[in-house]
Every structure is written in C-alpha cells, then in structure tokens.
C-alpha cells in the first residue's frame, strides 16, 4: 500500500492549519498595535506580535483537540441530544484550557500602561471576562466546520459509489450485449460449415479453424469495451476469410482506412455484424458477384466508419417498416451505452445500389469512463 500520498496530504493540511493561525495572529498584532496608538504609551510592535502569536497558537493547538473530539463525537441520527450535551461540556473545557494556557504564557510580563507585573490570577480573571464570547465562538466554529467537512466527504463518497455502480451496470449491459453476438454468429457460421462440408471439405476445415480462433477472441473476457481500429480490422479479416471460403469469387472486399485512424478506439466487435449484414443482403441473396467496402476516416473530432454492399438495397417486407436484426439492434444499443447521444448509426442507400451502414463516433485514443 502506498502511504506517500496520505502522508503528503496530512502535511499539507498541517501547513494550511499553521498558516491560517499565523495569518490570524498577524492580523491580531496589527489590530492591537493600532488600537493602542491612542494611549500615551502605545504597545511596541514586538510585544504586540509576541502576545498575539501566543494567543492564536494556543487557540490553534486547542483547536486540534477540538477536531479530535469531533471525530469521536459525530452527529448521527438519534443522537442529537447526546451530541449537543457532549459539545457543551467540550466548549467549557476548551474555554478553561484556553484561559489557563494564555494566562500562564503571559504571566510575568510588565503592563505597558501601569508598569506592574502581570500575575497569573489577574490575567486569568481578566481574560475570562474578555475572551468568553470569543472562545465559545471559536469552539463552535471548529465544530460546525468539521461537521460540514464530514458531510461533504460522505456526500462525495456516496456520489463516487453511485458513479462506480453506474459504471459497473453499464459494463454489465455491454458485456451482455456483446455476448448476444456469440450464439448468433456461431449459428450463422456453423450453417456455412454445413453447406461446405460435402462440396468443399478443405474449405470446411479452414472455416472451422478460423471459427475457433474467432470464438476464442470474441469470448475473451479480458478484452476492453473499446479497442484500436487496427485490432478490430484484424478480427474482421479473420471473419472475412470464412466468408470468402463460402462465396469464393462471388465476394470481393475493399478496405479504405485513412492513415492515422488505426489507433482510434472503436467498440470491440462493432464492424463484424455490419459486414455480416452487408454479406447477407448484398451477396448471399444474389447469384452474381458482389463486393463489400469498408472505409474509415477522421473528420476533426469524429471517426466515420462505413460498410457498404453492392446488393439490391433495403429488402421490402410486404410494405411493413424495415426491422433491424439482432446484429444492428445490438450495435445500436452498445453505441448508446458507450457514447450516449454522441453517435450516429444510419442505414442509407449506397452509391451504385445496395446499402451503406454509417457509424459516426467521437475520435479518441484514450478510453473514456462509462457513466451511463
């Protein structure tokens, strides 16, 4: 456990504490000196400083004791009466100790006005009359300041805890969404193997080998929610090897990745369902050859990802509105959890026919915290 930071923080608080009471002592010294200028024998600067520093440093040391007492007697529900009674006793003890310590530190000095030696008993009576209000105000100021700081820390802890729970909830949702792709993807790929196993056994072997590799990667729970685009494209290449084995010359793939975008972070497994959708609607349902294009470019702070096919466009569903499949709806949900409203996912007609899936997300190379 690294104790350097807590130790440094304690020293910082101590320095601020000493600085505060030093500042108050300086102000008090100036006040004492100026207020005595109207008398025939004003207080010398040295005496004003000495007395003020004795008073305020005594107050500071006793305030540390008040802080300790506050930590032992915190205001809790159902204990208000006990808390008030304890601090009334504490205020009395604080007042008595302050008077005793101040009188003891000043005893033996000579009065500027009368020239008499100041005795402990005389100073105790005089200071008790003059300082009672000041002492009680100082005590309760420290108590309420400590209580306010305690409430602030508890508020921050609850806020941090709630934020952590929210991040964990979002992570759990994203993991669940990502895992939904696995049985869906596995079913489609096994279907491809079954169509190859009799006509192209070697191709079926290659597909199974690639499938095992893809499942190992997709089931890897150590993967973060976002990975560099280069890693996502590597995963996609392995998937496309399976599809090229299925469709042979019927499928051509084109990739246009703008230089410098390879390090941009993208959601893990975000492109595969889009490419799968493009192949299903643009290649699988046609006898002639087709192609799938994958493009990535950066425009200021936005990363643009495009997946298009050369198919016949959005399929008609007997006049009903187009319904997104598992892959697209899953992708939309993941984007929403990761980026809130700062993303776009659209399906539009592509140039020359077919469909184009468009994803716009923030361009960044450092992971962002999930806050729901």
Q: Which residues of 293-317 are buried (b: 16+ CB within 10 A; e: fewer)?
A: bbbbbeeeeebbbbbbbbbeeeeee
Amino acid 318: pLDDT: 42
Q: What share of the chain is helix, strand, coil (3-state, %, to 5)?
A: 60, 15, 25
The CATH number given to 170-362 is: 3.30.565.10
Amino acid 230: pLDDT: 94
Residue range 6-31: mean pLDDT, rounded = 81
pTM above 0.85, yes or no: no
pLDDT in tens, 280-300: 877 777 778 888 999 999 998
Amino acid 266: pLDDT: 92
pLDDT in tens, 58-79: 888 888 888 899 888 888 777 8
- d(CA 240, CA 341) in angstroms, rounded, equals 31
**What are the Cα distances from residue 212, in Å, to 219, 245, 265, 277?**
10, 15, 25, 21
- 44 contact partners, CB below 8 Å, separation of at least 6: 112
> Do the strands 290-299 and 302-309 form a parallel or antiparallel pair, or are they unpaired?
antiparallel
Q: What are the residue ranges spanned by the domains of the chain?
A: 4-118, 170-362
The answer to whether 218 and 190 have CB atoms below 8 angstroms apart is no
Model confidence at 57: pLDDT above 80: yes
pLDDT in tens, 66-113: 889 988 888 877 788 888 899 899 999 988 998 888 888 878 777 666
Amino acid 362: pLDDT: 93
DSSP string over 169-203: HHHHHHHHHHHHHHHHHHHHHHHHHHHHTTT-HHH
pLDDT-derived band at 174, boundaries 50, 70, 90: low
The answer to whether 232 and 307 have CB atoms below 8 angstroms apart is no
């Amino acid at each position: 456990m690294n104790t350097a930071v807590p130790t440094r923080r304690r020293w910082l608080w101590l320095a601020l504490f000493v600085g505060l009471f030093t500042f108050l002592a300086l102000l008090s010294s100036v006040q004492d000196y100026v207020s005595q200028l109207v008398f025939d024998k004003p207080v010398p600067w040295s005496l004003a400083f000495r007395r003020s520093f004795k008073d305020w440093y005594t107050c500071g040391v006793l305030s540390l004791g008040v802080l300790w007492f506050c930590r032992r007697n915190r205001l809790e529900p159902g204990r208000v009466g006990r808390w008030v009674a304890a601090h009334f006793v504490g205020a009395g003890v604080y007042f008595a100790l302050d008077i005793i310590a101040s009188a003891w530190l000043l005893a033996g000095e000579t009065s500027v006005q009368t020239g008499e030696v100041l005795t402990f008993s005389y100073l105790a009576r005089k200071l008790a009359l003059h300082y009672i209000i000041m002492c009680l105000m100082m005590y309760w100021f420290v108590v309420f300041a400590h209580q306010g700081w305690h409430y602030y820390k508890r508020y921050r802890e609850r806020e941090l805890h709630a934020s952590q729970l929210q991040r964990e909830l979002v992570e759990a949702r994203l993991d669940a969404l990502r895992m939904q792709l696995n049985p869906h993807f596995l079913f489609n790929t096994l279907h491809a193997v079954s169509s190859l196993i009799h006509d192209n056994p070697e191709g079926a072997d290659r597909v199974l080998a690639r499938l095992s590799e893809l499942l190992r990667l997709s089931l890897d729970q150590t993967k973060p929610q976002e990975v560099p685009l280069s890693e996502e494209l590597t995963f996609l290449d392995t998937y496309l090897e399976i599809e090229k084995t299925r469709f042979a010359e019927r499928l051509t793939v084109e990739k246009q990745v703008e230089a410098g975008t390879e390090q941009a972070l993208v959601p893990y497994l975000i492109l595969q369902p889009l490419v799968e959708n493009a192949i299903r609607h643009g290649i699988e349902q046609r006898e002639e050859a087709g192609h799938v294009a994958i493009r990535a470019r950066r425009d200021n702070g936005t990363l643009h990802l495009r997946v298009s096919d050369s198919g016949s466009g959005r399929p008609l569903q007997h006049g009903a509105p187009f319904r997104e499949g598992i892959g697209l709806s899953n992708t939309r949900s993941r984007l929403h959890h990761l980026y809130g409203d700062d993303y776009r996912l659209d399906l539009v007609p592509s140039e020359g026919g077919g469909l184009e899936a468009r994803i716009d997300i923030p361009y960044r190379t450092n992971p962002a915290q999930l806050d729901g």
